[in-house]
Chains A and B, each alone.
Chain A
């Protein structure tokens, strides 16, 4: 009995390729890192709200990692990346510096800022990944995550841009810019609403109104500026208070989550939903949740876009294996695979022109879902994200001025 137990323990220790020492990894060649990664397990904590994405990660990526690198991928679904920030933060408090539970996080924006603020990220290794060469780091939208410099602390995975969805059989000619949308809301009482910030998607809708009130995003870029904020915020709250009586339930309550707004849209209680990731509309139509006549579009005055990333916490015991996962995610083949609408429909974070010819041909051959506005179409009018301090100020202001 004891002998079997000891044998089991020995087996499990030998199976653990402990690569917690990030500095040692940085001094290695890529082949050495891949060698170190063998037998490792990567606990990847990511938003788990979409079955298609979950399948792509667990089944497709999991199989490749097992087959080619002997790496076990363990996807852990969470509702919000901030939960993972809390885990790593608590571990740091408890003095866990090389045996953390988290090896990889799907992250961006405010949560990335938190990870940097608490010095919770493993940084300065991204040049080691061969596929890093496919990334155009000269693009400020890639090199900055919501205005915070990436500094080699995370690896881009997808780019997204906000879009609205409507049922073309119900609203044939939807409003195409923010001013028209605000008029439409007032002319159609009860048919529009948005999730209450701090919901991620509700928050970005409010930022669109904020940009509109400020007369564009250009003046708001850069570090937080109280005077500029106050000026734009006063106008924003005036606009939002003005439309409030015309919202769903006369604005007495707001959906708490984007899932709730999607549900209202699916049930025909409201005429619009929106998402940072327009491919979600196509997936919902495929799943039969939204009508086939669902169409999506951006605003002529622009919609906000951003990049999302993967990050390795400072205390991950499987850094080598996590790096191999990141490198695989960046490969032209995988960026193409997840761009297929039937798989996920996510826009690439790499510069496609740097990828192999067959990958480029693959991208050219992708036929988009009719319900999903193409990334090229959206990119014609793209707006940048603000730095995280602006976001928290807008969210807090909304709670105080509108949400109460």
Chain B
């Protein structure tokens, strides 16, 4: 090999995969959402599928539920992960063991975690059985409903359990590269511990925290399996609604399913734009300062 290949050539495999599989599928979904499916005799594209989705009674509550699940999971996970990362940065006996335990569930698939969570916190789960043995409740129905509940507590619990280690991992890597020097300097100049954290450490962690939070939000907003397993039958999370529409026995509802998928994608895209807005000035600021 002589010389350096053009970056585009090096990026080609990744671009092919993205363009060929992801964008093509997105394009097909878009076409279907405009009610263009010749195999079903739909040949005049229109926006009827979007109209019918946006005006259907359950759509708005499903959208709100999905936003609530994603927002609550992200905020709680990010806060807990920040605390965990700051604690794990310090040296104390057993730190390695705790660090290992915190990150162990990164390898557990979401669905397996959900089943485990059901065994623990459902009304006939482990905690309910403990409460029964302790004489606190007489019947499963008296245990607080933490799964299949209208506020999706079980779903959020599962996401928090699963995503805290993920954000922690990113933050720990960030902290390692940042090092302790900046904070030490601030402390030597008279900053309190809190001030050093608030004004020195946190701003430097912000890009990593925002990036990992954006990933968690997008995932929690678009994932289907956990709300199906642990969510209430109504309102249903948006991805569940889209899947049920996609698997409706009436083939004529396929365009509506596609329209819902496109709406989910648009919201995800909007989130990415917000994220880019939030981080870009910061990166520039960092460069200016450097």
**A binding-site residues for B, Cβ under 8 Å:** 80, 82-83, 85-86, 89, 92-93, 109-111, 113-114, 117-118, 190, 196, 198, 248-249, 252-257, 260, 263-264, 267-269, 388, 391-392, 399-400, 403-404
Contact = CB atoms under 8 A, between A and B. Distances in A.
Interface string B27-52: 00000000001111000000000000
Nearest to B143: A269
B246 A268 contact: no
A118 B39 contact: yes
Contacts of A392: 249-250
A243 B94 CA distance: 55
Contact of B141 (A252, A269, A399): A269
A82 B247 contact: yes
A80 B249 CA distance: 11
Nearest to A199: B233
B123 interface: yes
Contacts of B148: 249, 253, 255-256, 260
B27 to A, nearest CB: 13
B123 A269 contact: yes
Contact of A117 (B37, B235, B251): B251
A86 B243 CA distance: 12
B58 interface: yes
A110 B40 CA distance: 16
A190 B141 contact: yes
B251 A89 contact: yes
A111 B39 contact: no
A86 B149 contact: no
6 contacts: A82-B247, A114-B250, A118-B40, A260-B148, A392-B250, A404-B58
A253 B123 contact: no
A252 B246 contact: no
Interface string B232-251: 11110000000010111111
Contacts of B251: 85, 89, 114, 117-118
Most buried by A among B38, B141, B228, B235: B141
B124 A80 contact: no
A196 B233 contact: yes
Nearest to A391: B249
B222 interface: no
B107 to A, nearest CB: 24
Interface in B75-95: none
Given A89-B39, A118-B39, A404 B57 contact: yes
Contacts of B118: 263
Given A93-B37, A269-B124, A404-B234, A253 B247 contact: no
A398 to B, nearest CB: 11
Given A111-B249, A198-B244, A93 B39 contact: yes
Contacts of A257: 228
Interface in B172-231: 228-229, 231
Given A256-B233, A267-B124, 13 more contacts: A82-B248, A86-B247, A89-B251, A109-B249, A249-B141, A249-B145, A249-B148, A253-B148, A254-B234, A256-B228, A256-B229, A263-B118, A388-B249
A140 B247 CA distance: 28
Contacts, number: 79
Contact-residue size bin, chain B (C-beta under 8 Å from the other chain): 20 to 34
A257 B58 CA distance: 19
B248 A198 contact: yes
Contacts of B149: 253
Interface in B119-151: 122-124, 139-141, 145, 148-150
A97 to B, nearest CB: 12
Decide if the interface of chain B is mainly helix, strand, loop or mixed. loop
Contacts of B57: 400, 404
A86 B118 CA distance: 31
Contacts of A92: 39
Contacts of A403: 233-234
B32 to A, nearest CB: 9
B166 to A, nearest CB: 27
B254 to A, nearest CB: 8
B82 to A, nearest CB: 33
Given A267-B140, A269-B140, A252 B40 contact: no
B124 A252 contact: no
Nearest to B244: A198
B123 to A, nearest CB: 6
A112 B58 CA distance: 28
A82 B233 contact: no
A198 B231 CA distance: 16
Contacts of B228: 256-257
Contacts of A114: 249-251
A82 B244 CA distance: 10
A90 to B, nearest CB: 9
A80 B233 contact: no
B249 A253 contact: no
B123 A399 contact: no
B119 to A, nearest CB: 10
B247 A80 contact: yes
A92 B37 CA distance: 11
A113 B249 contact: yes
A253 B39 contact: no
A86 B244 CA distance: 13
A253 B246 contact: no
A23 to B, nearest CB: 21
Contacts of A117: 251
Given A117-B251, A190-B141, A400-B57, A86 B234 contact: no
Nearest to A83: B247
Most buried by B among A110, A256, A268: A256
A113 B248 CA distance: 12
A91 to B, nearest CB: 10
B249 A255 contact: no
B239 to A, nearest CB: 13
A403 B244 CA distance: 14
Nearest to A255: B233
A253 B232 contact: yes
A187 to B, nearest CB: 16
Given A82-B249, A198-B244, A252 B150 contact: yes
Contact of B246 (A86, A118, A269, A388): A86
